[in-house]
Amino acid sequence: MTRVKTAVLISGRGSNMMALLDAAKSPDHPAEITLVISNRPEALGLEKADARGIKAICIDHRDFDTRKDFEQELHAALIAHDIEFIACAGFMRVLTGGFVAKWEGRMINIHPSLLPKYKGLHTHARAIEAGDTEHGCSVHWVAEGVDTGAVIAQAKIEILPDDNPDTLAARILVQELDLYPAALAKAIRALS
Ligand code: GRF
Protein backbone atom coordinates (compact mmCIF):
# COMPACT_ATOMS: atom_id res chain seq x y z
CA MET A 1 0.00 0.00 0.00
CA THR A 2 1.31 3.44 -0.92
CA ARG A 3 0.77 5.69 2.04
CA VAL A 4 -0.18 9.32 1.54
CA LYS A 5 2.28 11.86 2.90
CA THR A 6 0.24 13.88 5.39
CA ALA A 7 0.87 17.05 7.38
CA VAL A 8 -0.98 17.94 10.58
CA LEU A 9 -1.65 21.63 11.22
CA ILE A 10 -1.98 22.64 14.88
CA SER A 11 -2.13 25.71 17.12
CA GLY A 12 -2.13 24.25 20.63
CA ARG A 13 -1.82 21.22 22.89
CA GLY A 14 -2.03 18.70 20.04
CA SER A 15 -4.10 15.90 21.53
CA ASN A 16 -5.85 15.22 18.22
CA MET A 17 -2.46 15.34 16.49
CA MET A 18 -1.13 12.70 18.93
CA ALA A 19 -4.11 10.45 18.22
CA LEU A 20 -3.37 10.77 14.49
CA LEU A 21 0.35 10.05 15.03
CA ASP A 22 -0.51 6.98 17.13
CA ALA A 23 -2.89 5.60 14.52
CA ALA A 24 -0.55 6.34 11.61
CA LYS A 25 2.23 4.32 13.27
CA SER A 26 0.38 1.29 11.93
CA PRO A 27 1.51 0.42 8.39
CA ASP A 28 -2.16 -0.35 7.66
CA HIS A 29 -3.15 3.27 8.14
CA PRO A 30 -3.15 5.05 4.75
CA ALA A 31 -1.62 8.26 6.14
CA GLU A 32 2.10 8.64 6.62
CA ILE A 33 2.44 11.70 8.85
CA THR A 34 5.76 13.31 8.05
CA LEU A 35 5.23 16.93 9.10
CA VAL A 36 3.56 18.97 11.83
CA ILE A 37 3.19 22.73 11.42
CA SER A 38 2.01 25.15 14.09
CA ASN A 39 1.18 28.82 13.55
CA ARG A 40 2.08 29.45 17.21
CA PRO A 41 5.61 28.88 18.59
CA GLU A 42 4.26 28.11 22.08
CA ALA A 43 2.03 25.25 20.88
CA LEU A 44 2.68 22.25 23.13
CA GLY A 45 2.00 19.95 20.21
CA LEU A 46 5.30 20.99 18.58
CA GLU A 47 7.35 19.42 21.41
CA LYS A 48 5.13 16.34 21.46
CA ALA A 49 5.62 15.77 17.73
CA ASP A 50 9.33 16.40 18.02
CA ALA A 51 9.58 13.85 20.86
CA ARG A 52 8.03 11.34 18.46
CA GLY A 53 10.70 12.08 15.88
CA ILE A 54 8.27 13.86 13.55
CA LYS A 55 9.50 16.99 11.80
CA ALA A 56 7.73 19.83 13.62
CA ILE A 57 8.03 23.45 12.52
CA CYS A 58 6.47 26.76 13.41
CA ILE A 59 5.34 29.30 10.85
CA ASP A 60 4.25 32.14 13.09
CA HIS A 61 1.38 34.01 11.43
CA ARG A 62 2.41 37.16 13.33
CA ASP A 63 5.60 37.31 11.24
CA PHE A 64 3.56 38.13 8.13
CA ASP A 65 1.83 41.33 7.11
CA THR A 66 -1.10 39.62 5.46
CA ARG A 67 -2.99 36.36 5.72
CA LYS A 68 -2.02 35.72 2.09
CA ASP A 69 1.70 36.06 2.85
CA PHE A 70 1.38 33.62 5.77
CA GLU A 71 -0.45 31.13 3.59
CA GLN A 72 2.15 31.42 0.83
CA GLU A 73 4.83 30.39 3.31
CA LEU A 74 2.62 27.60 4.66
CA HIS A 75 1.98 26.28 1.16
CA ALA A 76 5.68 26.48 0.26
CA ALA A 77 6.62 24.46 3.38
CA LEU A 78 4.02 21.81 2.56
CA ILE A 79 5.28 21.50 -1.00
CA ALA A 80 8.93 21.47 0.12
CA HIS A 81 8.10 18.44 2.29
CA ASP A 82 6.22 16.64 -0.52
CA ILE A 83 2.96 16.78 1.43
CA GLU A 84 -0.09 15.38 -0.36
CA PHE A 85 -2.77 15.66 2.32
CA ILE A 86 -3.51 17.98 5.27
CA ALA A 87 -5.27 17.21 8.54
CA CYS A 88 -6.11 20.34 10.55
CA ALA A 89 -6.22 19.47 14.25
CA GLY A 90 -7.02 22.43 16.46
CA PHE A 91 -5.53 24.79 13.86
CA MET A 92 -7.00 28.16 14.81
CA ARG A 93 -6.37 30.20 11.65
CA VAL A 94 -9.08 30.87 9.10
CA LEU A 95 -7.75 29.85 5.68
CA THR A 96 -8.59 32.02 2.69
CA GLY A 97 -10.25 30.79 -0.49
CA GLY A 98 -6.92 30.98 -2.31
CA PHE A 99 -5.23 28.50 0.02
CA VAL A 100 -8.29 26.27 0.24
CA ALA A 101 -8.50 26.08 -3.57
CA LYS A 102 -4.95 24.71 -3.69
CA TRP A 103 -5.78 21.92 -1.21
CA GLU A 104 -9.50 21.33 -1.70
CA GLY A 105 -10.26 17.61 -1.67
CA ARG A 106 -6.97 16.97 0.13
CA MET A 107 -7.59 18.82 3.40
CA ILE A 108 -9.79 17.87 6.36
CA ASN A 109 -10.58 19.35 9.77
CA ILE A 110 -12.08 18.29 13.09
CA HIS A 111 -14.66 20.52 14.73
CA PRO A 112 -16.27 20.02 18.16
CA SER A 113 -19.94 20.18 17.17
CA LEU A 114 -22.48 18.26 15.20
CA LEU A 115 -22.06 20.29 12.02
CA PRO A 116 -23.84 22.14 10.49
CA LYS A 117 -24.72 23.24 14.05
CA TYR A 118 -22.37 25.58 15.92
CA LYS A 119 -19.70 26.56 13.44
CA GLY A 120 -16.96 28.70 14.97
CA LEU A 121 -15.99 29.05 18.63
CA HIS A 122 -17.49 28.16 22.06
CA THR A 123 -19.47 25.25 20.66
CA HIS A 124 -19.91 23.47 24.00
CA ALA A 125 -21.31 26.52 25.80
CA ARG A 126 -23.60 27.26 22.86
CA ALA A 127 -25.00 23.71 22.82
CA ILE A 128 -25.69 23.86 26.58
CA GLU A 129 -27.23 27.33 26.38
CA ALA A 130 -29.51 26.22 23.57
CA GLY A 131 -30.84 23.41 25.77
CA ASP A 132 -29.64 20.72 23.36
CA THR A 133 -29.78 17.16 24.62
CA GLU A 134 -26.92 15.94 22.46
CA HIS A 135 -23.62 17.27 21.18
CA GLY A 136 -20.68 15.84 19.29
CA CYS A 137 -17.81 16.32 16.90
CA SER A 138 -17.41 16.24 13.15
CA VAL A 139 -14.59 15.58 10.73
CA HIS A 140 -15.21 17.42 7.48
CA TRP A 141 -13.56 18.33 4.20
CA VAL A 142 -12.26 21.90 4.30
CA ALA A 143 -14.06 24.29 1.95
CA GLU A 144 -13.99 28.08 1.83
CA GLY A 145 -15.76 29.48 4.91
CA VAL A 146 -15.36 28.60 8.59
CA ASP A 147 -16.23 24.96 9.41
CA THR A 148 -17.97 24.37 6.09
CA GLY A 149 -17.45 21.45 3.71
CA ALA A 150 -18.98 17.98 3.50
CA VAL A 151 -19.00 15.94 6.70
CA ILE A 152 -16.94 12.72 6.61
CA ALA A 153 -17.81 11.32 10.04
CA GLN A 154 -19.47 12.37 13.29
CA ALA A 155 -19.67 11.11 16.87
CA LYS A 156 -22.50 12.02 19.21
CA ILE A 157 -22.94 12.02 22.99
CA GLU A 158 -25.70 12.97 25.41
CA ILE A 159 -25.50 16.31 27.22
CA LEU A 160 -25.99 15.55 30.92
CA PRO A 161 -28.11 17.82 33.15
CA ASP A 162 -25.09 18.93 35.22
CA ASP A 163 -22.71 19.41 32.28
CA ASN A 164 -20.80 22.67 31.98
CA PRO A 165 -18.70 23.66 28.93
CA ASP A 166 -15.56 22.09 30.46
CA THR A 167 -17.05 18.72 31.37
CA LEU A 168 -18.75 18.54 27.99
CA ALA A 169 -15.55 19.50 26.15
CA ALA A 170 -13.62 16.79 28.01
CA ARG A 171 -16.14 14.09 27.02
CA ILE A 172 -16.26 15.34 23.44
CA LEU A 173 -12.46 15.27 23.25
CA VAL A 174 -12.51 11.54 24.06
CA GLN A 175 -14.81 11.13 21.06
CA GLU A 176 -12.59 13.30 18.86
CA LEU A 177 -9.50 11.21 19.58
CA ASP A 178 -11.37 8.11 18.52
CA LEU A 179 -13.11 9.63 15.50
CA TYR A 180 -10.29 11.53 13.81
CA PRO A 181 -7.84 8.70 13.02
CA ALA A 182 -10.64 6.62 11.49
CA ALA A 183 -12.03 9.59 9.55
CA LEU A 184 -8.56 10.45 8.21
CA ALA A 185 -8.21 6.89 6.93
CA LYS A 186 -11.68 7.06 5.38
CA ALA A 187 -10.95 10.40 3.69
CA ILE A 188 -7.66 9.20 2.19
CA ARG A 189 -9.21 5.94 0.99
CA ALA A 190 -11.93 7.99 -0.73
CA LEU A 191 -9.27 9.68 -2.86
CA SER A 192 -8.54 6.64 -4.96
C1 GRF B 1 -10.26 20.26 19.68
O2 GRF B 1 -11.39 20.21 20.48
C3 GRF B 1 -10.64 20.56 18.27
O4 GRF B 1 -11.81 19.95 17.85
C5 GRF B 1 -10.83 22.05 18.33
O6 GRF B 1 -9.77 22.51 19.15
C7 GRF B 1 -9.39 21.48 20.03
C8 GRF B 1 -7.95 21.21 19.80
O9 GRF B 1 -7.40 20.38 20.80
N10 GRF B 1 -10.89 22.64 17.02
P11 GRF B 1 -6.01 19.65 20.57
O12 GRF B 1 -5.00 20.71 20.16
O13 GRF B 1 -6.19 18.59 19.54
O14 GRF B 1 -5.67 19.08 21.92
Distance 90 CA to ligand 1 centre (A): 4
pLDDT of residue 192: 63
Distance 176 CA to ligand 1 centre (A): 8
Is there a contact between 172 and 137 (Cβ–Cβ < 8 Å)? Answer: yes
Give me the chain's average pLDDT, please.
97
* pLDDT single digits (tens) 142-186: 999 999 999 999 999 999 999 999 999 999 999 999 999 999 999
Ligand 1: residues within 6 Å at CB? 10, 12-17, 45, 89-90, 110-112, 173, 176
Which domain does 41 fall in, by range? 4-191
pTM over the 0.85 mark:
yes
Number of structural domains, the chain?
Answer: 1
Q: Which of 111, 124, 135, 140 is catalytic?
A: 111
Query: Which CATH number goes with the domain that contains 121?
Result: 3.40.50.170
61 as an active site residue: the answer is no
Integer CA distances (angstroms), 83 to 37, 106, 121, 190, in order = 12, 10, 28, 17
Is there a contact between 32 and 24 (Cβ–Cβ < 8 Å)? Answer: yes
* pLDDT single digits (tens) 10-35: 999 999 999 999 999 999 999 999 99
